[in-house]
Structure 1
Amino acid sequence: MNITIIEDELRTAKSLENILKELRPLAKITGPYQSIEESVSALSQGPHPDLVFMDIQLADGLSFEIFKSVDIICPVVFCTAFDEYSLDAFKRNGVDYVLKPFSKEDIAGAMRKVDNLKNFFQQKATPDISELLLQMVQPSAKTSFLVFKHQKYTTVQVAQIAHFYIRNESTSMMCFDGQEFPLNQSLDQVAGSVSPKQFFRVNRQFLVNFSAIKEIEHYFLRKLYVKLIIETPEKLLINKEKSTAFLSWMENR
């Protein structure tokens, strides 16, 4: 098996390589390639890999740009520190979506998925597996949340929620009508259960609904200032590393 690593963090790339060598001692590993330009050049020259481990945020942009220049017909395991790219990943031959920091068990699980799809890839030279993968690994997004307030349980539809946020280390939701409800889930858990097409994690504290966004302004230090139609207790700022992904999400929904 020929495995290519596309990763701009050399320490992470080395850790991944060591895990892969332990799991697949006979595999030939190439890379790491740290940029879109370097990856396109390497993949264009061949031979084609049997599997690619690909970071999403590279030194010169999002790795999804690689697919515009090179036909990658093998499975791809995406590794990233963010969870908002999952839908795009699974549309690009993604067989798994591993969040950093990953463990040996995470990589082993990804390799099992690759093995399970091996026969499928052998049957077709250029498989279109987007729908298959979405059915296998894309979880169904929640449509409502059960909440408890004033000694009563009630159901809140996701479409009614403007944003989720962390306050005093607890997660809450804010509805478009101004009602607030506490949740017993972490914001990470909430982000993983709602549609990534509808909600974006703008920073550590806020997960916002696309429908709640009023306007976006440039801010100091190349940050973005996101204004919602519902007032928030503090400014919603997106750092420069995440701003490109956010604008892409806004444009490509």
Structure 2
Amino acid sequence: MNIIIIEDELKTAKSLENIILGLRPADKIIGQYQSVSASVTALTEGPMPDLIFMDVQLADGLCFEIFKSVKITCPVVFCTAYDEYSMEAFKNNGVDYVLKPFAKQDIQEALQKVDELKNFFQQRALPDLGDLLSKLSVPSGKTSFLVFKNQKYKTISIDEIAFFYIHNELTWIMCFDKQQFSVNQSLDQITQAVSAKQFFRLNRQYLVNFKAIKEVEPYFLRKLYVRLVIEAPDKLLVNKEKSHSFLSWMEDR
């Protein structure tokens, strides 16, 4: 079986390839692509594979954009970090999925399901992905925040923000250029609003952008000490209960 992997995280793509070939040595990975545009080009110009493993959120947008440009005639297994409720749409349309972080057994079961559904995919068209996209709400997070300073309103792009933090019972934005702005939302509200892939809640006071992290080192009592590319007002520590999930978040790029 010829397989294509569409996944913007190189480590995840390589891990997926190793698992597939370990389970199915006779199968071939004929392509790996990280973006919507590269996938569209490959699927338009090259042969259609027998199976695609596809991440939902790619480097340049949602994977469903691919289906608007290319007629996909093979089964697709979606790999995603999003919850089972959002994935019900896939299950009802006969397309399998695995939730990240996935294990060998997850991929094995997905491949077995594809084998069992071969006749289904040969006899029926794939679901309308445009309709699926309109029904599926994939939480990508806020893209900007409205702030007020010097008697003026302005928007701050999420990519400009190094971290959010609490000081004197107020929530503040610290930008990479060291500008600071207060916001009305609580840190809990902001944590829910931003992308969980881009920001991590280190502790009760700090929510940090991945791009702001310079280095991490072990600290006393199995805590982690986080250094940022710009100086923070406080020493940033992650407690031992949260350290494993933090390091997993750091690695999941």
Q: Give the TM-score normalised by structure 1.
A: 0.52
Summarize deviations over 1:72-128 as a string: whole Å, max 9, x none. Answer: 12111111222275256458x66222111110000011111101111222335xx24
Q: Which has the larger radius of gyration?
A: 2
SS at structure 2 position matched to 1:235? helix
Change (3 A) 1:11 1:68: same
* Conservation of the 8 A alpha-carbon contact between 1:8 and 1:59: yes
Amino acid at match of 1:86: M
**Aligned equivalents of 1:15, 1:78: Cα separation in 2:** 15
* Conservation of the 8 A alpha-carbon contact between 2:139 and 2:195: no
Structure 2 gap segments, 5+ residues each: 147-154, 162-184, 199-253
**Aligned equivalents of 2:187, 2:37: Cα separation in 1:** 42
1:235 aligns with 2:235: no
* Conservation of the 8 A alpha-carbon contact between 2:4 and 2:29: yes
* Conservation of the 8 A alpha-carbon contact between 1:221 and 1:240: no
Summarize deviations over 1:157-203 as a string: whole Å, max 9, x none. Answer: xxxxxxxxxxxxxxxxxxxxxxxxxxxxxxxxxxxxxx976x96969
Q: Which residue of 1 aligns with 2:61?
A: 61
Spell out the pairing of 1:82-231 with structure 2 (5 A cutoff).
82-83=82-83, 85-87=86-88, 89=90, 95-124=95-124, 127-129=125-127, 221-222=158-159
Change (3 A) 1:6 1:234: closer
SS at structure 1 position matched to 2:95? strand
SS at structure 2 position matched to 1:95? coil
1:78 aligns with 2:78: yes
* Conservation of the 8 A alpha-carbon contact between 2:5 and 2:33: yes
Amino acid at match of 1:98: V
Amino acid at match of 1:235: Q
* Conservation of the 8 A alpha-carbon contact between 2:140 and 2:194: no
Identity %: 55
Change (3 A) 1:39 1:202: closer
**Aligned equivalents of 2:195, 2:26: Cα separation in 1:** 41
Deviation at 1:23, TM superposition (A): 1.6
Amino acid at match of 1:239: S
Amino acid at match of 1:221: I
**Aligned equivalents of 1:13, 1:222: Cα separation in 2:** 25
Change (3 A) 1:12 1:129: same
**Aligned equivalents of 1:10, 1:34: Cα separation in 2:** 8
* Conservation of the 8 A alpha-carbon contact between 2:89 and 2:136: no
**Aligned equivalents of 2:17, 2:29: Cα separation in 1:** 7
Change (3 A) 1:241 1:12: closer
Instruction: Number of aligned residue pairs: give it.
Output: 160
CA RMSD of aligned residues (A): 3.8
**Aligned equivalents of 1:90, 1:223: Cα separation in 2:** 38
Amino acid at match of 1:59: A
Amino acid at match of 1:4: I
Summarize deviations over 1:5-43 as a string: whole Å, max 9, x none. Answer: 101111111111111112221112122101111100111
Amino acid at match of 2:195: N
SS at structure 2 position matched to 1:53? strand
**Aligned equivalents of 1:35, 1:15: Cα separation in 2:** 18
**Aligned equivalents of 2:105, 2:196: Cα separation in 1:** 32
Structure 1 gap segments, 5+ residues each: 135-194, 204-215, 225-230, 243-253
Summarize deviations over 1:39-71 as a string: whole Å, max 9, x none. Answer: 001111131111100011111111111011001
SS at structure 2 position matched to 1:48? coil
Amino acid at match of 1:13: A
